[in-house]
Structure 1
Amino acid sequence: MRKQIAGNGTKQIGWYCVQCERWEQPTRWLAHKDVTDCLRAYQATIDNIPTVNDYRDVPCVVCGQIGTETHHWMPQKFNSHPDVEAEWPAWQSLQAPLCKYHHDLWHDLVTPWMPRRGNSRRKDNE
C-alpha cells in the first residue's frame, strides 16, 4: 500500500508494486475510511503510508499555477471498456497537470455529461 499526493493536496492511496514501480492496473484508489480502519490496528495513520509521488509543486500546463490535478485524456471510468482495457496502461499514461479551473473548463467543454462534475468552475457564477 502506497500513497500519492495530488497537486491539490488530496492523498490517493492504492496498491503499488515496489519491484515494478507501478500502480496496480487498473488503478483503483482505496477509500480513506477503509484504510484508516485497517491502519488503526497498527496505531498508524494515512500519513505513515510511504509516498510514491508528490505532485503539489507541479505547474498547470496552461497557466503555470501550482496546485494541479491530473487530467486523464481517456476518462478512468472507461478502463474496463472492451475497446480500451487491453491498452489501458498506454491511455493512462496520457495525462496533463491542470489547475482546478482549467481541469473543470476542459470537462465543462468536452464532457459536460460526466458524473461527479458538480464542482464545476461555473457553479459559483450560477
Structure 2
Amino acid sequence: MSNRSVIKTDRAPAAIGPYSQAIKAGSTVYLSGQIPLDPATMELVGGGMDAQVRRVFDNLSAVCDAAGGALHDIVKLNIFLTDLSHFNLVNEIMKEYFQEPYPARAAIGVAALPKGAEVEMDAVMDIA
C-alpha cells in the first residue's frame, strides 16, 4: 500500500502538463515548479519581476496550505531565473515570506522557462 497522495488546489495554477501540483509521501511533500501564473486566468501576471516573484511565492503557499503545511515548512527551495540580475530582488522578497531558519536553497540561471516566465520555483516541504 502506497503512502503517497496527490495534492491539488484551485488556489494555485492547474498543472500545464502531465504532473501534479504536489505529491505527499509520508511527511514529505514534493512541490512541482510554480511559475507566476494567476490561478484564475492561467496567464502570467503583469507588473514586472517583483509581481512575478510574489505570485510564485503565493502559488507555492497555496499548494503548501493544501498539503497541510505552510511556507515555513519548506526545507529545500529551488529558484530558476532567466536573468540572474534579479537575484537580489528575489532575496529581498523572500525575506517577506520566510523567517529564519531559512530553507536550504539553490538559485539557478536558465535560458528559458515555460510560458515565457522569468522565474520558477519548486520546493520540498516536511510536515512531520
Task: Assess same fold via TM > 0.5.
Answer: no
Pick the structure with greater CA Rg: 1
- Please indicate the TM-score interval, normalised by the length of the shorter structure: under 0.3
Give TM-score scaled by structure 1 length: 0.27
Give TM-score scaled by structure 2 length: 0.26
